[in-house]
Structure 1
Amino acid sequence: MKTFESCSKAFHAAEAAIVAHRCSELGIEVQGKTMLKKLSMFLDLDNWPESPDLRGLTKEDEQDLRVWGADYSTRLQDFHRKAEELRTERHNALCSALRSLGKEIGCEFLELCGPLDQRFADALCKADRLRKTMLDGIGYVDLIDPETNFAKGFYGATALKKTELFHNLKLCAEYRNNGTRHSDEVMAKLGFAEEVCNEDR
């Protein structure tokens, strides 16, 4: 799998391509709707010949409008098709970047030491920051839904299961907030081995 950095660059390249497409001559026309009335007249030639907009149109004007309309309609279809392709590329790049970020954060998470809840918070805080500053400006990653792209990367890298992870985080909260003492084995698994040793003195 590609790195998060390379996927992020691909996402921004796709974003730039969308902006360039939107700012093209035809893109500006579409946004400004400058040719909308003329296009409507072209469509009315066959769909509504009695349209008030077509009154006074000479045969030569009609022929010119048909030639222009056929060409413009084709260009318009190509423009919208290209726009959809670019949006798909951006979406795919975003998904790949989030999966890569999840994998990289998951690998780092496995290397961290200390209580599980603190390691989890540190990992997610870093992931949020990286997504916000390097990707799409959204400072949030999702591990609640295991089917999201970040979650797939994270759970795939750590081999953790969502239900077990959140159950253990709940145990951490019970210990920190209520002083609930779990077995030494559980406390050690949660990363509170030092606390267990201190309390056993």
Structure 2
Amino acid sequence: MRKKVINILVGLSIFLLTVSYPFTASAASGTSIFKSKYPKQVIRVSKSVDLDKDRKPETVILTTLGYLYLVKGNKVTLVEKNIVSDKGFPAPKLTINHPAQDEYQVIIRLFYGASNTRAFVYRMQKGKLVKVLDVVGDVEIKIHKGKIYQVWKMYRDEGLWDPVTAVYSWNSKKQKFDVSGMVPN
């Protein structure tokens, strides 16, 4: 009886270790793979999400030098350079947008003079992160419930301005953004 209980406990322990091991390893693997290939780069922010629907998370990394990388499996790819905000403004922000079922996108927001915000939106296409939207809001760029709000200044003839908004919504059938509201010229 005692031998049977020990065998069951050992078997259960081995089972639990093998089941939990891949999840623990994969959670840190994107950043550790990046660090092994680029040890001098400093990670500002990283996010892991399944961008290509293969049930394995990809890791998107933004460095302090302004480089955007994609880590997919053991491969590290440079996506974009020069992602920096102006001095004295907040650092660039990396967020994951979920505009539709089974659709995840990477959004980078940059901040620069006179309250301008620029947003780059990337999505996976054929194994690569591809830029699908580039907008500037001279008031702000907001992201809410999967939609991107571009708030900008529409100037009047007498010199004042009114805030107006263009709303970008992801269209899954067309695989692109539809825009409503007022778009800057």
Q: Which protein is richer in helix relative to its size?
A: 1
Structure showing greater radius of gyration is 1
Query: Could you say whether these structures have the same fold, taking a TM-score greater than 0.5 normalized by the shorter chain as the test?
Result: no
Q: Which protein is richer in strand relative to its size?
A: 2
- Larger RCO (alpha carbons 8 Å, 6+ apart): 1
TM-score (norm 2): 0.28
TM-score (norm 1): 0.26
